[in-house]
Amino acid sequence: MAYLGFNAAEVAPASDFSALPQGEYAVIITASEMIATKRGDGQMLKLTLQVIEPELHKGRLLWARLNLMNSNPVAVDIAQRELSAICHAVGKLMIQDSEELHHLPLRVKVAYLPAKGEFPEKNDIKAWKPYKAGGGIQHAPVVTQVAPPAPSAPVKAAPAPSAPVKAAPAPSAPVNKTPPWKRASAPVAGVDDIPF
């Protein structure tokens, strides 16, 4: 037996650390800090997020790490784009300190990654979106095609012609009705007027 002298009313109970189901959640950033990468060649911005909606998962935590300083330029580019998405989602485009992002609601699209080998199940944040009160998610407007109204009375089709209609012949040069053997001997108009 061990004497504890512990009052559980003074300490919040431990949270559920299992991964959240895949979906979209309203969250706030509650903490942020720069931490060293595992290899020690850069720094990551570690964000702690707390779910505020839906009620079923309220209070649960998510984490994100942004490789803002790294020897790999691709990792830095990805991290900067994610940070930009967070800033746009909360409406703060110019920040000096990560604390400026704290306690501002936004939405995140969360993927569920099952346990693999020695690694436990976890969540991965795939998208950052603006928060909309009431649990709605902002989407691009849906464009629907409206069909023309149906006619009130049936329309009769024109009767099919009984015989094909021939098109009028195209106008051509006047036809010379003089037989060819007479044309050769006939004088050409205007030839007598040409001075030699």
Q: State pLDDT tens for residues 4-47.
A: 778 888 876 666 678 999 999 999 999 999 999 988 889 999 99
Residue 132 phi, psi (nearest 5): -125, 125
In a domain, 163, yes or no: no
The lowest-confidence range among 18-22, 91-95, 113-117, 179-183 is: 179-183
Q: What is the mean pLDDT of residues 57-65?
A: 95
Tokens of 138: 């902002």
**Average pLDDT for residues 94-108, to the nearest whole number?**
97
Look at residue 12 and tell me if it is in a domain: no
Which tens digit of pLDDT belongs to each residue from 118-134? 999 999 999 999 998 65
78 lies in some domain: yes
Give the residue with greater pLDDT, 173 vs 118: 118
As for how many domains the chain has, the answer is 1
Say what the pLDDT of residue 145 is.
Answer: 44
- Residue 36 is assigned to a structural domain of this protein: yes
Residue 190's region, left for phi above 0, alpha for psi from -120 to 50, else beta, is left
Average pLDDT score over residue span 74-81 = 96
- Domain extent, residue 102, equals 25-135
Residue 80 lies in a domain: yes
Q: Which two tokens stand for residue 189?
A: 């108009």
Average pLDDT on 184-192 reads 48
Residue 147: per-residue pLDDT: 47
- CATH number of the domain where residue 115 is located: 2.40.50
Q: How far is CA 146 from CA 84, 100, 141, 151, 154, in A?
A: 38, 46, 15, 15, 21
Domain assignment present for 99: yes
In a domain, 181, yes or no: no
pLDDT tens digits for 143-155?
334 444 455 555 4
Q: Output the average pLDDT for the chain.
A: 79
Q: Is residue 87 part of a domain?
A: yes
Q: State yes or no: pLDDT of 140 exceeds 70.
A: no
Q: What is the mean pLDDT of residues 82-94?
A: 97
Average pLDDT over residues 66-94: 96
Cα gap 108→20, rounded to integer Å = 12
Give the pLDDT score at 45. 97
Percentage of the chain surpassing pLDDT 90?
Answer: 56
Q: What angle do CA 145, 149, 152 make, to 5 degrees?
A: 165
Instruction: Give yes or no for residue 101 having a pLDDT over 90.
Output: yes
pTM: 0.61
